[in-house]
Amino acid sequence: MGSDVGTTAGADGGDRTVLLIGGRVETVRKARGLGLDVVNVQRPDEYRPEHADLVRAALLVDYTDWSVLRPLVTAAHQVFGFSGVATITEPGVEPVGLICDTLGLRGNGHHCARLLRDKAEMRRHLAGRPGAVAAAVAEDRAALAEFGARHGHPFVVKPVDAAASFGVRLVEGPDAVEDAWQAVTALRGSTEHPFAAYFPVGRFLMEEYLDGPEYSVESLSFDGRHLLLAVTEKSVADGFVESGHALPARLPAADEQAVRDCVAAFLDAVGLRHGPAHTEVKLTSRGPRVIESHGRPGGDRIMELVEAAYGVDIEAYTVGWAAGVLPAIETPPKARAAAATCFLTARPGRVTGIEGVEEARAHEGVLGLDVAVDVGGTVRPLEASWDRVGQVLVTGPDTAAAQSLARQLAGKITVITEPAP
């Protein structure tokens, strides 16, 4: 189940070699900046020339297939002697857990990783604990009707192990059960969404609806001690897809402490002892309740917002702590600024023009700006986070100012579309 102590060097004395599972080129650069050699496991279609210039070796395989990954990683460890293994990607969390168990590297073992990836298993594990959320697997249409009768409407149906709000649906009442079941059966086995290779949709989970505003807590854990870095506000448009983030969250002190206590107890309950976590929470009328959690940094470039506001590079710590080259952070950092992001959306169709990007980018408060589509490309219907067409990241003197600026600058950018053929 993982270990709290790193292994010794391999045959060539490579005690400063880290194994990175998936991830972006910037993760490799940060590892190199920490004085580490990198062995990168990457899907062949995601390996870039920039990777090749930075890594000591690469294993180009589907790293979610353990039957393929295990013998390759075991053999590579004999050659390179990994001092640690890390990932910043959701599909890499379980492989990292399996590798920690197999090689005895410091990190969270597969049991913890599986609880965070399998939402149904997580709910079963937490059942009976304070703050538990009613949940059950949607085996058939009758199960949906029974869950609503027992736990009330509305309730939520979502894939057991997907991400990015994909396939999440609210069942408003008994009359909505048939439509919900049709949606479930249509999505099972779907290969049409952009990340089907990573998130094959199979089982669906029903959960009681949680009222109240949503937050996430970004954290780093060091040998079981949880350092809760930031509480992030969430903005959600229609449905469940997030439209923005802002931090530090504007919460009364008692509510913020309750959220932090809830997350620390959750991380203890699932056995997370090392590295990053991104835990989503609703502050309900009955107190904070965990929606779900992930054993990697938050997506949507939240780790960049945290670094801008708190001065902590979660990505570097994900790698550096795993490899044993960065020490534990002893004291929670204080915010030195605020940061926010607002996402760009557009009408579905073929992109015919993009306006306002340079004007928005020129603002002194801009931390980053991405447009994820090009002229001639396609805007998909907004069904998951990956369907958004870009984002603006900014800093500001306080959270209200940062959030207002992000929305203002996002409003200057227009992605023009026409109906697709």
Model pLDDT for residues 75-106, shown as the tens digit of each residue:
999 999 999 999 999 999 999 999 999 999 99
Q: What is the pLDDT at residue 12?
A: 40
Q: What is the CATH number of domain 337-421?
A: 3.30.470.20
Residue 416 token pair: 């023009």
Which pLDDT belongs to residue 167? Answer: 75
CA atoms within 13 A of residue 322's CA, in its CB half-sphere = 34
Q: Within the chain, how many helices (H) and strands (E) appear?
A: 13, 19
Q: What angle is formed at CA 191 by the lines to CA 178 and CA 373, rounded to 5 degrees?
A: 110
Domain locations in the chain as residue ranges: 17-115, 134-208, 337-421
Per the listing, tokens 């969430």 go with 234
> What pLDDT was estimated at residue 381?
86
pLDDT digits (tens, 9 = 90+) for 219-272: 999 999 999 999 999 998 767 788 999 999 999 999 999 999 999 999 999 999
For residue 248, whether the previous peptide bond is cis, meaning omega lies within 30 degrees of 0, is yes
Sign of the four-CA dihedral 260, 265, 270, 273:
positive
* Residue 133 CA neighbour count, 13 Å, CB half: 26
Inter-residue contact 290 to 281 (CB < 8 Å): yes
Confidence (pLDDT) at 188:
78
Residue by residue, DSSP assigns 78-143 as HHH--SEEE-SSSTTHHHHHHHHHHHT-BS--HHHHHHHH-HHHHHHHHTTSTT---EEE--SHHH
Strand ranges (E), 252-380: 275-284, 287-294, 338-344, 349-355, 366-371, 378-379
**Which phi and psi angles does 64 have, rounded to 5°?**
-85, -5
pTM of the model as a whole: 0.91
* Burial class of 384 by CB neighbour count within 10 A (0 to 12, 13 to 18, 19+): buried
Q: What's residue 195's pLDDT? A: 61
Beta strands per DSSP E along 254-377: 275-284, 287-294, 338-344, 349-355, 366-371
Give the pLDDT score at 239.
Answer: 72
So what's the pLDDT on residue 65?
A: 94
Please list the residues that pair with 275 across neighbouring strands.
221
d(CA 37, CA 57): 9
Strands (E), 140-286: 155-159, 169-171, 204-208, 214-222, 225-236, 242-247, 275-284
Predicted pLDDT at 5: 40
* N-to-C CA span, the chain: 52
- Output the six-digit token pair for 57: 């070796």
| CA atoms of 380 and 385, how far apart (whole Å) | 11
Q: What is the pLDDT of residue 14?
A: 46
**What is the structure's pLDDT at 109?**
97
In the structure encoding, which two tokens stand for residue 193, read together?
Answer: 């969404």
The parts of the chain modelled with pLDDT lower than 70 are 1-14, 162-165, 189-199, 238
Reference 154, options 255, 240, 245; nearest CA is 240
220 within 8 A of 229, measured Cβ to Cβ: yes
- Cα 155 to Cα 169: distance, rounded to the nearest angstrom: 8
Round to whole Å and give the CA distance between 165 and 385: 6
Q: Does domain 17-115 have CATH number 3.40.50.20?
A: yes
Question: 134-208: which CATH number, 3.30.360.10, 3.30.450.40, 3.40.50.1000, 3.30.1490.20?
Answer: 3.30.1490.20
